Amino acid sequence: MPYSGPISAYGMIGRAQEAYFEKINADGGINGRKIKFIGLDDGYNPAKTVEHTRRMVEQDEVLLLFNSVGTATNKSVRKYLNAKQIPQLFLAGGDSGWSDPKQFPWTIGWMPSYREEAKLYARHILKNRPNAKVGALYLNDDFGKDYLAGFKEGLGDKAASMLVLAEPYEMFYATVDSQVVALKAAGVDTLFTATAGKHAAQALRKIWDIGWKPAIYTAVPAASPRTVLEPAGAHHAVGMITAYYAKDATNPVLQDDPAVKQYFAWAKKHFRLDPTDGIAAYGYQMAQVLEYVLRKCGDDLTRENVMRVATSMQDVEFPMLPPGVKASTSPTDYRPIEQFVLSRFDGKRWQAISEVMAP
């Protein structure tokens, strides 16, 4: 987990999971066994990811790696974990490479792929803004490049004429101000961002500061109201569009939803941090998925059986998924979730603007 560094906000995922499994253990564990949950800080640095992963496998002798954050970080250890036949489960990220069972049978993602998500934005633009001058701001690593590739695929033969400028940035950059200024200067009126952490908030603030008012489509990792939009000034993000596949625990419409009520009841008793942070809710959701897999394994807690269960889910309705979104996998299809709901930000929360849809 990136408990420190430029995307440390996503360390909230691990904090929520730690609290969830502590609660599970206090209730007697799973099938009579307690979970030892180890979380190490890689700072979103692949070299650290390699170091910590080797320690977990060779010293701690872990059963599996779970929900690690990041595209470049997870790719840095994917070959190693597959060679060792260690489950690399439900990675926190939507890289299209997480569904490659022939080459990497021990690696599986969770959320829909970044490419498919980006295609939805492109198609929405083609339908609703056919004459748009489109720009892209993207992190110059596997994460951002995957999004950009999907976005171009979604635009199809219109990409060459509509995509005016694609501005990359590096994770170590202090700001993305110059990239934002360049996009405005190029005449962009519709912006797609594949950003994360502090750079996502910086981009929104700079857009506002220079008086630019493009239509904005943002990748899921930059859509957290608590972590990204509020630090940038939530009013700066009014009208922004994103796509997601899970329940928004902060939406008043869902306050009587049994799963949301259970989430806040758990947080009140077991979680010391802010439960209204959507990143925490994501961590909680994923902990429930791992709990499901471990319970289904029964007494056969081999790595082979863990993968067998993870890759044989059939229309599983997890509590934090909205009606119509179900998890299914098979030995040849490692994509548990393939549905989205398009949403628009109203200044306080995301409001659905579509039914459940597949790319």
Taking the chain (359 residues) in consecutive chunks of 10 residues, what is each chunk's mean pLDDT?
Answer: 92 97 97 96 97 98 97 96 98 89 97 92 97 97 94 97 98 96 98 94 96 97 88 93 91 92 97 92 97 97 98 96 92 93 92 83
pLDDT at 251: 85
Query: Considering the chain, what percentage of its residues have pLDDT values greater than 90?
Result: 85
- CB environment 309-348: b (16+ within 10 A), e (fewer): bbbebeeeebebbbeebbbebeeeebbbbbbbbbbebeee
The verdict on domain 114-244 having CATH code 3.20.20.70 is no
pLDDT at 22: 97
Domain ranges of the chain: 8-112+254-339, 114-244
Q: Do domains 8-112+254-339 and 114-244 have the same CATH topology?
A: yes
pLDDT at 39: 96
Residues 296-339: pLDDT tens digits?
A: 999 999 999 999 999 999 999 999 999 889 999 999 999 999 88
**Beta partners for residue 71, in sequence order:** none
**Beta partners for residue 344, in sequence order:** 241, 351
What one-character-per-residue DSSP string does 68-123 give?
Answer: -B-HHHHHHHHHHHHHHT--EEEEBS--GGG--TTT-TTEEE-SPPHHHHHHHHHH
Burial class (CB in 10 A: 0-12, 13-18, 19+), 119: buried
pLDDT at 155: 98
C-alpha distances (whole Å) from 73 to each of 43, 106, 286 are 10, 16, 19
Mean of per-residue pLDDT scores for the chain: 95
Assign domain 8-112+254-339 to a CATH class.
alpha beta
pLDDT at 252: 86
What DSSP character marks residue 33?
A: B
pLDDT at 359: 64
Residues 107-145: pLDDT tens digits?
A: 999 988 899 999 999 999 999 999 999 999 999 998 999
